[in-house]
Amino acid sequence: MKASRVIPNEPKITPELVAEHGLKPDEYQRLLALIGREPSLTELGIFSAMWNEHCSYKSSKVHLKALPTTGRCVIQGPGENAGVIDIGDGLAAVFKMESHNHPSYIEPYQGAATGVGGILRDVFTMGARPIACLNSLSFGDPAHPKTRRLVAGVVAGIGGYGNSFGVPTVGGSVRFHNRYDGNILVNAMAVGLAETDKIFYAAASGVGMPIVYLGSKTGRDGIHGATMASAEFGADAEEKRPTVQVGDPFAEKLLLEACLEIMAKGCVIAIQDMGAAGLTCSAVEMGAKGDLGIALDLDKVPCRETGMSAYEMMLSESQERMLMVLKPDKEAEAEAIFRKWGLDFAVVGETTAGMRFHVRQGGDVMADIPIKELGDEAPVYQRPFVETPKQAALDPRSVAPPMPVADALEKLVGSADLCSKRWVWEQYDHIILGNTVQRPGGDAAVVRVLDGPKALAITTDVTPRYCEADPFEGGKQAVAEAWRNLSAVGAKPLAVTDNLNFGNPEKPEIMGQLVGCIRGIAEACRTLDFPVVSGNVSLYNETFGRAILPTPTIGGVGLIDDFTIGATVAFKAEGSAILLVGATQGWLGQSLYLRDVCGREEGAPPPVDLAVEKRNGDFVRGLIREKLAKTVHDVSDGGLAVALAEMAIASGRIGAVLEMPPAGVPAHAYWFGEDQGRYVVVVPASAADAVLSRAAEAGVSATRIGVTGGEALILPGERPLLIKGLTERFERWFPTYMSGAAG
């Protein structure tokens, strides 16, 4: 290297500038102690990017250690771009979920689009070809003046990027609550396939190895994106638009093919996508994980804008970019492949023996700082927390039904949270690639593995109102719900990814929510042998000090041995026996019936018995594998009546006649209680007694509750509900709302 001039130190570093970079005074003092001098502006920006919450997990790291991350199928757990599990036959599923909450509120289309692009890169960076996308979306009150625009922009962004890239969006969830008014959640999940012996990792190895910049050119979009995502919103939220990245799905498609090709050619030592904090984070992580230093020459970085400073180049979050460490003898071959795909290829640095992060531009040293402290040894806090006070269990007999059961069911199936989300998922291409077995609208999506017979079942789940009322039980429930949804389609649950969305961790009550949910998730994952292999923590989801509902989203992946053997939610024939697996107390605390019909949000959420969840899930899966049950639906939001209505609506024509609720359970609590661990299972009438006998032998609670048939859902003592009318209510809300005629 040529001799370098002194690090430029303009502008003067002031306390105000430090604060603008999201560093607390004590953190800045830690920075000074590490480097032994005042930082340059570029160095300050680098520390700001690497030590913010989004990149360092400084508030959550000590608690995340409680999560079980190993298991019989785990190849790679948390700490890499994505988690990896063995699905047999030399194949692996690679998956992860991440958030793009703040950018999506500021600029809904691009924020959501680049969220999809980022999670796809995380997957193919590991050497996997993406096969499916999912999402979990939380919006504010439908009546809020911004909600409709945010819904339209986010859905268009997800569809625009995913459809153009060419990977099906096969599932997800959409919810509304006024606690998301100023801070929506956009959680994106991607799943890919790779060969088990061809997984690629981020840790660099070897001294003097070329560091190569790949993909699109660097611009000024997304600067301070990671820092912005680690701060609360205030009145200036709209002014943060320049921090939002701009995506190009067609460039990403080229990047995918080029990366997979050079991987197949054996060119790659290490690879890291440029996501949050851009070039800074990718370079530091590769070096720190490999116990190596990194030297970068910014004069060699491809730029689409002129006059970019070192500060701007290091913090840009321009999309569709990768950083790789290549085998020196493969450099020319790799460059030829990237040029063939019309992408930039530039050697921008090398690995070094010293544990330093060295950045030059125009002959000046712009940064020279210890690399380990930037990456692996960022500040870690044991923040004080207070546990959420327990709420009393709500006696269902104390809840007076404000209307007949039939009227309440019509109201619920036509509500914002429980209505059909067809308006959303029809904007996504959910069948491209031709391997989608179960489309959106069921308990879990099912995607064939190559030509079969294996398939992956995938779901995203969380019930935020449970998590706020009791974080521990809510965390357990989110995992159990994912377990049930996978089991309901006949899949063996294998592993999860998580996306932990919370408010400001510096508030002890918010930190208590985070800790409680993590503990609940950990217990459920251990009991169900359902390890966490990847994830993301998104904190500071607040606006004017008002936090979102705690929303620890779980993405579950399960395996089906033969995709031709499974179950869906739709009734398939008349005269079949309807069985309820799982016990019913009529739990109304925190239920949607209590909230949307009775106008009350209170009470303890339903408890989750994990031993029962495992036993019931195993039992239902066995029925599906033996082809005894081809219609299965888990009972969740809205309770039993809503589950039955969804099954009838999905059939398009077949109703059901239901039996009286058991003695001692009020009718409205029986039909709308949200007791956990339950499934509606439909079997041939001739097999019902045998199935019930098997359940008893297995210690599984199961009862016959009705029979399929007719054109209406008939609940005892209630007026018949025609399937046609229920369907109209179910399908009406979303398109009406988005047309501007409601809300």
CB atoms within 10 A of CB 356: 18
Catalytic residue (one of 21, 100, 177, 430): 100
Active site residue 177: no
Rounded CA separation 651/660 (Å): 23
Rounded CA separation 112/84 (Å): 25
Rounded CA separation 4/363 (Å): 6
Rounded CA separation 388/433 (Å): 46
Amino acid found at 481:
E
> What is the edge-to-edge ordering of all strands in the sheet holding 551-560?
436-438, 445-448, 455-461, 551-560, 492-501, 532-538
Q: How many CA atoms lie within 13 A of 330 on its CB side?
A: 19
Rounded CA separation 483/165 (Å): 30
Q: Both tokens of residue 451?
A: 């030509």
Rounded CA separation 570/340 (Å): 48
DSSP state of 593: I
The SS3 assignment for 703 reads strand
Rounded CA separation 634/617 (Å): 10
Q: Both tokens of residue 148?
A: 């409709």
Active site residue 100: yes
Residues 538-557: b if buried by 16+ CB within 10 A, e if exposed? bbbbbbeeebbbbbbbbbbb
β strands within 327-379, DSSP E: 344-352, 356-361, 364-370
Catalytic residue (one of 54, 63, 102, 430): 54
Are 316 and 181 in contact by the 8 Å Cβ rule? The answer is: no
CB atoms within 10 A of CB 79: 14
Give which of 210, 202, 253 is closest to 346, Cα–Cα.
Answer: 210
Rounded CA separation 275/278 (Å): 5
Rounded CA separation 475/172 (Å): 18
The sign of the dihedral angle between the CA atoms of 464, 465, 467, 473 is negative
Rounded CA separation 39/442 (Å): 54
Q: What are phi and psi of 362, to 5 degrees?
A: 60, 30
Rounded CA separation 313/222 (Å): 11
Rounded CA separation 275/99 (Å): 12
Taking the mean position of all CA atoms in its chain, how far away is CA 501?
A: 10
Are 417 and 592 in contact by the 8 Å Cβ rule? The answer is: yes
Give which of 264, 251, 257 is closest to 330, Cα–Cα.
Answer: 264
Are 460 and 132 in contact by the 8 Å Cβ rule? The answer is: no
State the catalytic residues.
54, 100
